[in-house]
Amino acid sequence: MSASAIFVLDLKGKVLICRNYKGDVNMAEIDHFLPLLMQQEEEGLLCPVLSHGNVHFMWIKHSNLYLVATTNKNSNASLVYSFLYKIVEVFTEYFKELEEESIQDNFVVVYELLDELMDFGFPQTTDSKILQEYITQEGTKLEVAKSKVPTTVTNAVSWRSEGIKYKKNEVFIDVIESINVLVNANGSVMSSDIVGSIKLKTMLSGMPELRLGLNDRVLFALTGRDKGKTVVMEDVKFHQCVRLSRFDSDRTISFIPPDGESELMSYRINTHVKPLIWIESVIEKFSHSRVEIMVKAKGQFKKQSVANNVEVRVPVPSDADSPKFKTSTGTAKYVPEKNMVVWTIKSFPGGKEFLMRAHFGLPSVENNELEGKPPITVKFEIPYFTVSGIQVRYMKIIEKSGYQALPWVRYITQSGDYQLRTNV
* 50 vs 306 by CB, closer to another protein: 50
Q: Is 42 in the site for another protein (CB under 8 A)?
A: no
Which amino acid makes up residue 15? Answer: V
Q: Judged by CB under 8 A, does residue 287 bind another protein?
A: no
- The candidate with the shortest Cα–Cα distance to 310, out of 375, 411, 410, 383, is 383
As measured in angstroms, the least distance from the Cβ of 74 to another protein is 4
Q: Is 3 exposed, middle or buried (0-12, 13-18, 19+ CB in 10 A)?
A: buried
| Cβ-based burial of 53 (10 A; exposed 0-12, middle 13-18, buried ≥19) | exposed
Q: Which stretch binds another protein (CB under 8 A): 14-22, 301-309, 353-361, 379-387?
A: 14-22
Q: Which of 4, 125, 161, 414 binds another protein (CB under 8 A)?
A: 125
Sorted by sequence, the CB contacts under 8 Å of residue 224 that are 6+ apart come out as none
Which range touches another protein (CB under 8 A), out of 53-61, 213-221, 294-302, 343-351? 53-61
Collapsing DSSP to helix, strand or coil, 149 comes out as coil
Q: Is 17 in the site for another protein (CB under 8 A)?
A: yes
Question: What does the alpha-carbon distance between residue 327 and residue 109 come to, in Å, rounded to a whole number?
Answer: 52
- In angstroms, give the least distance from the CB of 352 to another protein: 28
CB of 304 to another protein, least distance (A): 30
φ, ψ (nearest 5 deg) of residue 32: -80, -15
Q: Is 422 in the site for another protein (CB under 8 A)?
A: no
**Residue 314 Cβ vs another protein, minimum distance, rounded to whole Å:** 14
How far apart are the C-alpha atoms of 197 and 275, rounded to whole Å?
Answer: 19
How far apart are the C-alpha atoms of 134 and 53, rounded to whole Å? 40
Cβ nearer to another protein, comparing 81 with 411: 81
Stretch that binds another protein, among 30-38, 122-130, 282-290, 330-338 (CB under 8 A): 122-130
The answer to whether 97 contacts another protein (rule: CB under 8 A) is no
- The span from the CA of 24 to the CA of 17, in Å, is 18
Taking the CB of residue 197, how many other CB atoms lie within 10 A of it?
16
Angle at the Cα of 32 from the Cα atoms of 31 and 35, rounded to 5 degrees: 110
Q: How far is the CB of 346 from another protein (least distance, A)?
A: 26
176-235 residues in contact with another protein (CB under 8 A) are: 182, 184-185, 190-191, 195, 234-235
Site string for another protein, 352-391 (x = CB under 8 A): ------------------xxxxxx----------------
**Binders in 392-421 for another protein, by CB under 8 A:** 417, 419, 421
Q: How far is the CB of 168 from another protein (least distance, A)?
A: 29
Smallest gap from Cβ 258 to another protein, in A, equals: 12
Q: Which is nearer to another protein, 142 or 294 (CB)?
A: 142
Helix (H, G, I), strand (E, B) or coil at 113: helix
Q: Is 101 in the site for another protein (CB under 8 A)?
A: yes
Residues 238-267 that bind another protein (CB under 8 A): 238-240, 242-245, 247-248, 263, 265-266
Under rule CB under 8 A, residue 424 binds another protein: no
Binding segment toward another protein, per CB under 8 A, in 102-110, 217-225, 296-304, 351-359: 102-110
The residue from 38, 63, 146, 261 that contacts another protein (CB under 8 A) is: 146
| Beta-ladder partners of 21 | none
CB 392 within 8 A of CB 173: yes
The CB density around residue 237, as the number of other CB atoms within 10 Å, is 12
Q: Is 78 in the site for another protein (CB under 8 A)?
A: yes
CA distance to 183, 191, 265, 413, per residue, from 180 (Å) = 10, 8, 18, 11
